[in-house]
Structure 1
Amino acid sequence: MKHDSELLASMKDPSYNVHRTIAMSICGLYGSGAISLFGFVDCKFRFFFPTKRPKSFISKGICAIVASVASVVISDNVKEDYTKKNLDLLLSRGVQLEDMVDILDQLQRPYNPDMERSLCEEHILAVLRKQQTFHAIQMGVKIDTAVENKEFSEQYNHIVGRDEGLFGVDESIATAVPLMYGTIALTNFGYLDKEKIGIIKELDSDHGEGKCNTFIDDIVCGIVAAACGRLAHNNTPTFSKPVK
């Protein structure tokens, strides 16, 4: 970078944000709370680190690490296991654990043909233990149910009930889950959202008798995608690990 005049000139531009984007990929692994904290630490960088240059890749990396650690400390106070609550909420919308295990198995089998199916269940359950997963599922279920009961305005009930193409709030809420497991999980979310495998397709196509599955199908995409990312992160090939 020291010898790249074009890159140096770009970094001096007030609108340059690539260093923030890269650093925030760290925060994404620790949830939306870490991303919010990143914004605070970034704005207050001079206060916390008066001798450091704020507009550099290393400074944004420091912000990301501080924000992520702070988020871990805060979330560490949450000792409750949310698995049962999440499974109950999913079941209330017709989604069973095995439905999600089936999709994860189908996605991962080509890459790991000797994988035990129980490994897929293990990673799905690990995602379901998270408080952030609970919050996403809870909100998605509440909105779908409220639309079915016509609790919103006629316009909103229409937009959400028909899952109109430009309505993206359902994906926004659902991606809070895979974001905790890195960009690979987010990529898997996009794939599942388009391919609609298994129970995801069933939910997406079930609009009979005033049924609304606009949020729940994306929530299931998010859970399975997160489990894909978690499985990948826990089975890192030797050549991908840092050299000692």
Structure 2
Amino acid sequence: MKPTGLYSRDEMLELNIQTLKERTVTVEEIAEVAYRQQAKWSDQVSMADCIDSVEKILSLRDVFHILQLGAEIDRLTDAGLFKGPIQDILKIDLGMFGIDELFGLELAGLYGTIGKTNFGDIDVNKPLVIDRLNGEGKHGGMCHTFMDDIVGALAAAASTRVAQMLNEIEAHKDPNVEEIKLDLDV
């Protein structure tokens, strides 16, 4: 019998995608943020690589734990199930709270210092889906105190993973072999 609480990478991926959908976010929206962030630095970035990177990251155990806990905190906040001042702090996404950013930094940090730097950029500029989530939470809609930071961190990690893949491809090019270009118009 399978121990409770243990999930395969495929199961974690599927559960994370389902949880994101419940919190009104798609893999493609996260990938679009990653694509826009990384495309500033390289014209070799593809949306397909960004989607693949988001999915790979969503299958990681630490990411699973962060995303599931953060989504549950937001859900419980929506339901008004916290007591005392923490309910209000979470509901209004108090700027001085900062614990939600710790979730984001931890997730993005799985991809090193650059992952954290990318998260900082996304957290400050709030592109696309992150802006939507942040706005909804601050204007009385669904609580996204944790989800906006988790989604931003997922995009930052995916952006960093794509950059690492591109650098790896570049590192394997042999500088002693001249590229041959074919003229197919003959």
TM-score grouping bracket, smaller chain normalisation: 0.7 to 0.9
Consecutive aligned runs of 4 or more in structure 1 exceeding 4 Å deviation: none
Map 1:103-122 → 2, pairs under 5 A: 103-122=33-52
1:238 paired to 2:174: no
Structure 2 residue aligned with 1:182: 112
Q: Is the 8 A contact 1:132 1:176 kept in 2?
A: no
Report deviation, 1:211: 2.6
The structure with the largest alpha-carbon Rg is: 1
Q: Distance in 1 between matches of 2:133 and 2:57?
A: 21
Report deviation, 1:105: 1.1
Which residue among 156, 161, 165 is the counterpart of 1:225?
Answer: 156
Q: Which moved more, 1:229-238 or 1:152-161?
A: 229-238
Structure 1 residues 100-130: Cα deviation after superposition (integer angstroms, max 9, x where no partner): 1111111111222243221111111111110
| TM-score normalised according to structure 2 size | 0.81
Q: Is the 8 A contact 2:111 2:160 kept in 1?
A: yes
Number of aligned residue pairs: give it.
Answer: 163
Unpaired segments ≥5 residues, structure 2: 1-5, 173-186
Structure 1 residues 12-71: Cα deviation after superposition (integer angstroms, max 9, x where no partner): xxxxxxxxxxxxxxxxxxxxxxxxxxxxxxxxxxxxxxxxxxxxxxxxxxxxxxxxxxxx
Q: Is the 8 A contact 2:136 2:142 kept in 1?
A: yes
Q: Is the 8 A contact 2:38 2:163 kept in 1?
A: no
Q: Is the 8 A contact 2:31 2:158 kept in 1?
A: no
Map 1:24-173 → 2, pairs under 5 A: 79-81=8-10, 82-173=12-103
Q: Which moved more, 1:204-213 or 1:161-170?
A: 204-213
Which residue among 143, 147, 162 is the counterpart of 1:216?
Answer: 147
Going from structure 1 to structure 2, the CA distance change for 1:115 and 1:173 (only over 3 Å counts) comes to: closer
Indicate the SS of the match to 1:157: helix
**Aligned residues: CA RMSD:** 1.8
Report deviation, 1:175: 2.0
Q: Tell me the percent identity.
A: 29
Q: Distance in 2 between matches of 1:234 and 1:114?
A: 11
Structure 1 residues 198-228: Cα deviation after superposition (integer angstroms, max 9, x where no partner): 0100000013445311000000011111112
Q: Distance in 1 between matches of 2:141 and 2:44?
A: 43
Q: Is the 8 A contact 1:161 1:212 kept in 2?
A: yes
Structure 1 residues 171-207: Cα deviation after superposition (integer angstroms, max 9, x where no partner): 1122221111110000000110010000100000013
Q: Distance in 2 between matches of 1:180 and 1:210?
A: 31
Q: Distance in 1 between matches of 2:7 and 2:91?
A: 34
Going from structure 1 to structure 2, the CA distance change for 1:79 and 1:146 (only over 3 Å counts) comes to: closer
Report deviation, 1:78: 7.1
Q: Which has the higher contact order (CA 8 A, sep 6+)?
A: 2
